[in-house]
A and B are shown apart, each in its own frame.
Chain A
Amino acid sequence: MIELAGLTKRYGRTTAVQDLTFSVRPGVVTGFLGPNGSGKSTTMRMILGLDHPSAGQVRIDGRRYHQLADPLTHIGALLEAKAVHPGRTAYHHLLCLAQSNDIPLRRIDDVLDLVGLAGVAKKRPKGFSLGMGQRLGIASALLGDPRILMFDEPVNGLDPEGIQWIRNLMKRLAAEGRTVFVSSHLMSEMALTADHLIVIGQGRLLADTSMARFIEENARTFVRVRSPDHERLRAALERAGGRPRQCPDGSLEIEDLPAARVGELAAENDVVLHELSHQQASLEEAFMRLTHESVEYHARAGR
Chain B
Amino acid sequence: MSAENARRVLLSEWTKIRSVRSTLWTLVTAIVVTVALGMLISGLIGHNFDDLSPHERMTFDPTFISFAGTSLGQLALIAFGILVVSNEYSTGMIRASLTAVPVRGVLMAAKLAVAAALALVVGMVTSFLAFFLGQSVLGEHSTDIGQPGVLRAVFGGGLYMGLIALFAMGAAWTLRSPMLSFGILIPFFFLISGILANVPATEKVGHYLPDQAGSRVMRVMDDGEQPYGPWAGLLIMTIWVVGALLAGYAVLRKRDA
Interface residues of A (CB under 8 A from B): 45, 48-52, 65-66, 68, 71-72, 77, 79, 81-89, 92-93, 95-97, 99-102, 140
Contact = CB atoms under 8 A, between A and B. Distances in A.
B159 to A, nearest CB: 29
Contacts of B87: 85
A88 B16 contact: yes
Chain B contact patch, size range: 20 to 34
Q: Which of A52, A77, A88, A95 has the most CB of B within 10 A?
A: A88
Main secondary structure of the interface of A (DSSP, over half): loop
A97 B102 contact: no
Contacts of A72: 99-100
Interface stretch (B19-27, B127-135, B169-177, B220-228): B19-27
B12 interface: yes
A82 B96 CA distance: 9
A66 B102 contact: yes
A50 B256 contact: yes
Given A45-B256, A51-B256, A88-B20, A102 B8 contact: yes
Given A50-B95, A52-B254, A99-B12, 14 more contacts: A45-B257, A51-B256, A51-B257, A66-B102, A71-B102, A83-B91, A85-B20, A88-B93, A92-B15, A96-B16, A97-B96, A97-B100, A102-B8, A140-B96
Contacts of B9: 100
Nearest to A11: B256
A160 B13 CA distance: 37
B239 interface: no
16 contacts: A45-B95, A51-B257, A52-B254, A52-B256, A71-B99, A71-B100, A71-B102, A72-B100, A81-B92, A87-B20, A88-B16, A95-B15, A99-B15, A100-B8, A100-B11, A101-B8
A99 B95 contact: no
Interface in B65-113: 87-88, 91-96, 98-103
B15 A87 contact: no
A84 B256 contact: no
B110 to A, nearest CB: 9
A19 to B, nearest CB: 19
A96 B99 contact: no
Interface string B1-36: 000000011011101100111100000000000000
A88 B19 contact: yes
A105 to B, nearest CB: 11
A15 to B, nearest CB: 15
A79 B11 CA distance: 25
